[in-house]
Homo-oligomer: A and B are copies of this chain.
Amino acid sequence: MEVKKIFLPESELPRQWYNILADMPTPMEPPLHPGTGQPVGPDDLAPIFPMPLIEQEVSQERWIDIPEEVLEKYLLWRPTPLYRAYGLEKYLDTPAKIYFKNEGVSPAGSHKPNTALAQAYYNKISGTKRITTETGAGQWGSALSFCCALFGLECKVYMVKVSYQQKPYRRIMMETWGANCVASPSTETKAGQQILAENPDSPGSLGIAISEAVEAAVMDDDAKYSLGSVLNHVMLHQTVNGLECQKQMAIAGDYPDVIIGCAGGGSNFAGNCLPFVRDKINGKEIDIIAVEPASCPTMTRGPFAYDFGDTVQMTPLLPMYTLGHSFVPAPIHAGGLRYHGMAPIISQLVMDGIIRAEAIPQMETFKAGITFARTEGFISAPETNHAVAMVIREAIKAKEEGKEKVILFNWSGHGLVDMAAYEAYLAGKLSDYELPADEIHRALADIEPLPKPKQYKPGTV
């Protein structure tokens, strides 16, 4: 029998995270203070993040030790298995070898605990008593709730009201792990009260929920705030995935020609590909593809510019691909990909030509998810289906070209708590969303693109 899954022994769990800031071909632009427009310093961030995370956010060290207690608790689900997708290959009749890294085996069902665990740990040792955060579809909120339970921290989650109502299972998961989850806008914060005064029926938004969570952390000496994507330290923690994956590919005796991941804020994609990006910077030829929804085409249709991370302009200005902080993505089911911006690290690498971006419409992603479920068994999260759809495109291309490519993708999570989306697709109730150009133009009206750097050529660092 051919090997289906490549497991790493626990003794091979990476002991360090990989910090790509040490290897970026183009230096990163700094985040800017929303009030002064000056680069943000540690003191600006101290009210909302514990100091070890602020230090990681700006560290230039290539390797950062994973604390012993984090390693120990990673073992609850890590190392995760690397799968060979024989069933999908056979169905597609492709000469490509398809591998996927299964991050769905974590208790919360996705890659999110890779950073939630680290953030909970650093908060714990810094004396934080409770962590506040926001969540949209609920993947992040449930991951942080799970990890706070492991460290005996309180967790307060502001969940976008429309998701709170539509996705009760995610909320109940958070409560099962002991977290307190409220619908946002809530009456518990000034930001929430203000929104509700203007519009008592507000369905909420990620931007509003961020405002509430940040305010709750700032107003409470025992609390800090936590973010599940976008920031450098989040990308850092996620690299435990790609570092495992490099060892597993070596065991398989293959090296990826193509690496694919879906990208909303960028964290699952970064986690898998950044260690391979390092190889590419050092001369390896790899086609690294970030897949986004056609209805929220941040990297494929937005400019690289300074923009706010949230709708209400409270966060620092980040240098990133953006559709404008006032852009409201269509209500696709891949809630985790409905974000107007993109992690600065990923944005810079796209700008430098090391990573390329592709946008895929919703219907194609669900079709791909059904194919995957019936050939490989696992039901993917709607976000993950964006990666699956791109894999299928590449595998078909390989067949047309007659090339035996090695395709690796990050299977970022399962869709068992997202079955309503599959029901809508199977019942013929979903469609693609056309995105009018003027909608993007309107959201970008106030935003000035950053100058495009010299295009990067691999091996020229």
Contact = CB atoms under 8 A, between A and B. Distances in A.
Interface of A: 1-5, 7, 9-10, 68, 71-72, 75-77, 87, 105-107, 109, 146, 149-150, 168-169, 172-173, 175-178, 369-370, 373-379, 416-417, 419-420, 422-423, 426
B175 A426 contact: yes
Number of copies of this chain that the complex holds: 2
A373 B172 contact: no
A422 B176 contact: yes
A375 to B, nearest CB: 8
A426 to B, nearest CB: 5
9 contacts: A77-B377, A107-B373, A107-B378, A107-B379, A146-B377, A168-B419, A172-B419, A172-B423, A175-B422
A302 to B, nearest CB: 33
A88 to B, nearest CB: 12
A377 B178 CA distance: 11
A416 B109 contact: yes
A68 B419 contact: no
Task: Tell which of A77, A106, A169, A416 has the most Cβ of chain B within 10 Å.
Answer: A416
B150 A377 contact: yes
A149 B10 contact: no
A173 B379 contact: yes
A149 B5 contact: no
Contacts of A169: 169, 416-417, 419-420
A430 to B, nearest CB: 13
Nearest to A6: B10
A89 to B, nearest CB: 14
B373 A176 contact: yes
Task: Tell which of A9, A71, A75 has the most Cβ of chain B within 10 Å.
Answer: A75
A5 B11 CA distance: 11
A373 B7 CA distance: 24
Contacts of A109: 416
A375 B151 CA distance: 9
A379 B107 CA distance: 7
A360 to B, nearest CB: 19
A68 B1 contact: yes
A107 B377 contact: yes
A109 B369 CA distance: 18
Given A1-B72, A149-B373, A416-B417, 7 more contacts: A76-B377, A105-B105, A107-B378, A150-B377, A173-B379, A173-B419, A178-B374
